[in-house]
Amino acid sequence: QVQLQESGPGLVKPSETLSLTCSVTDASVSSDYWSWIRQPPGKGLEWIAYISYSGSTDYNPSLESRVTISLDTSKNHFSLILSSVTAADTAVYYCARRVWDTSGEPYFDSWGQGTLVTVSS
């Protein structure tokens, strides 16, 4: 059973950079596809970005100019960087594994527990 665990600061100042890491256990980041998803308090889910085992990436167009996702195979984790944060970036941030079903449709089969990041001075 794949396990994912987010880590990073719980408080970030406006205009600064948010950095999170997702540690993966019982799976290798050198295989599969990995994503970040966030959920503002009391609101719905928003996909942020994905990275493949080979390092190819894709980003939500609404966040693309501020987001970077990366992979560290030596530590078996992947990371998220979100720059120039505002209060609107306050959310629970989840990391997840993305897989495909037999018809080629993607879905997220494993999730971390989530970490709340608050943007405030």
Partner 1 sequence: SSEVTQDPAVSVALGQTVEITCRGDSLRRHYASWYQQKPGQAPLVVVYGKNSRPSGIPDRFSGSGSGNTASLTITGAQAEDEADYYCLSRDNRNFYVLFGGGTKLTVL
Which of 44, 54, 88, 120 lies at the binding interface for partner 1 (CB under 8 A)? Answer: 44
32 lies in the site for partner 1, by CB under 8 A: no
Residue from 10, 26, 61, 74 binding partner 1 (CB under 8 A): 61
Which one of residues 58, 63, 68, 83 is an interface residue with partner 1 (CB under 8 A)?
58
Closest to partner 1 by CB, 16 vs 21, is 21
With 0-12 CB in 10 A as exposed, 13-18 as middle and 19+ as buried, what is 76? middle
Q: Which of 66, 57, 112, 113 is nearest to 88 (CA)?
A: 66
What's the start-to-end Cα distance of the chain, in Å?
39
Separation between Cα atoms, residue 113 and residue 23, nearest integer Å: 12
**Which residues would be at the binding site for partner 1 (CB under 8 A)?**
33, 37, 44-47, 50, 58, 60-61, 94, 101-103, 105-109, 111-114
